[in-house]
Each structure stands twice: as structure tokens, then as C-alpha cells.
Amino acid sequence: MKRANLLVRPISETIFSARQGVYPVAAKKLAPYGRVDYFTRMSGADWAIRLTAFMALACYVGALAKWPDRREPGAWPSALCLWSLGLGIFLAHFVCAFHFEHGWSHSQALAATARQTAKVTGTNTGVGLYFNYAFTLVWLGDCVWWHLAKRSHEARPAWLGGVTHGFMAFMWFNATVVFGAPLGQSLGWAALAGLAAWHLLGRRRNKLLKT
């Protein structure tokens, strides 16, 4: 009887939030034998946080896939369109996470980040929250720059573009693969492998066109 009650009791889903990747909504509850039920009932707030996170990741990956050809006219959606859409969805995710999970309290978000970081790395620090703030500002600033001064953005120094994309990729990797639940880790590795394969195929195609 006790086991049956455990099976029908809703299990808290793990979600991706702006504060520290994929983490339990409340206290993470595992099903018997360590299995997590990803198909259990979730509240509207849970769905809002989770879906906006993965939609933002999908747009980010799509924009990077189109990045090498961003200066050339191509099929819709363009890299700029996906970059902007991803930012908008991520901002919605950021708002949902802080509204539903932290009640717009920076101190609560900082404490939650420290607990999650200590659980994964053994270091009790909330510095990851500030990295997430920086991530949001970097994406916002880059997108605004691209819209307002497209030529300037496209002519920026290579080192600046490298730093920007390196930082953002680092944050996504940590949010999905390092701090993620199994689903988030799988998506993170799939995105990394897919982008690598896409760019390798693009380079090979360009070499064939030049010969």
C-alpha cells in the first residue's frame, strides 16, 4: 500500500531556470529505485518555466547554425530572427523563474543557487546567479547592437565575438550538461554534437564550392 501511494503521488519535475540550470521545482522527489517520472502532473508555472527554457535553447542553437551565413540573404528564419526570438523567450523564462520560484527576491535566488552549486560541486557559493545576470545582459546587449547597428555588429573584432559566444556557450553547457537533469544533459550533448556536425558539413560544402 505504501509503495502504491508513492507511485500515484506527483513527483516534482526538474526544470531549467535562469538561476542555475535544471533543478528541482521544490524538493526533488525520486520515484522508487531512483527513477524520475518526467511525465507526472506539473503546474502551469512549472510548464511556463520549463518550456521557455528549452525553447530559448532551441532558438540559440538554430541561430548558431545559421551564423556563418548571416550576412547572406537566405531562407526565413534568419540568424538575427532566431537570435532575437531566443532572447525574448529567455527573458520570459527569466521572469517566470523569478516570479514563481523566488518571489522576485534576489536573496532567495542567491541562497537557492548556493545550495544547488554545493550539491553538484561541493562548493557553497551563489556566484552562478551573477553569471546568469551577466548572461542575460550579454545576450540583450548583443541583440540590441545587431538590430541598431548591423554593419558595426558584423564588423566587430573577432576576439569580441569569440568572447561573447564562448561565454554564452559556457553558460548553456553548465546549465544543461553540468547542472542538468538527465533530460537537460541529453539535450545539451545533442545540441553540441549537432552544431559541430552542422559546421563541419558547412565547411566541407564551402570547400567543394570553391574548387
pLDDT means per 10 residues in the chain (211 residues)? Answer: 38 37 40 43 76 90 80 75 96 94 93 92 94 97 96 92 92 84 75 73 62 60
State the Cα–Cα distance between residues 198 and 175, nearest whole angstrom: 22
Q: Domains of the chain: which residue ranges?
A: 2-210
Q: Residue 104: what pLDDT? A: 94
Structural element, H or E, at residue 16? strand 14-17
The whole-angstrom distance between residue 67's C-alpha and the CA centroid of its chain comes to 18
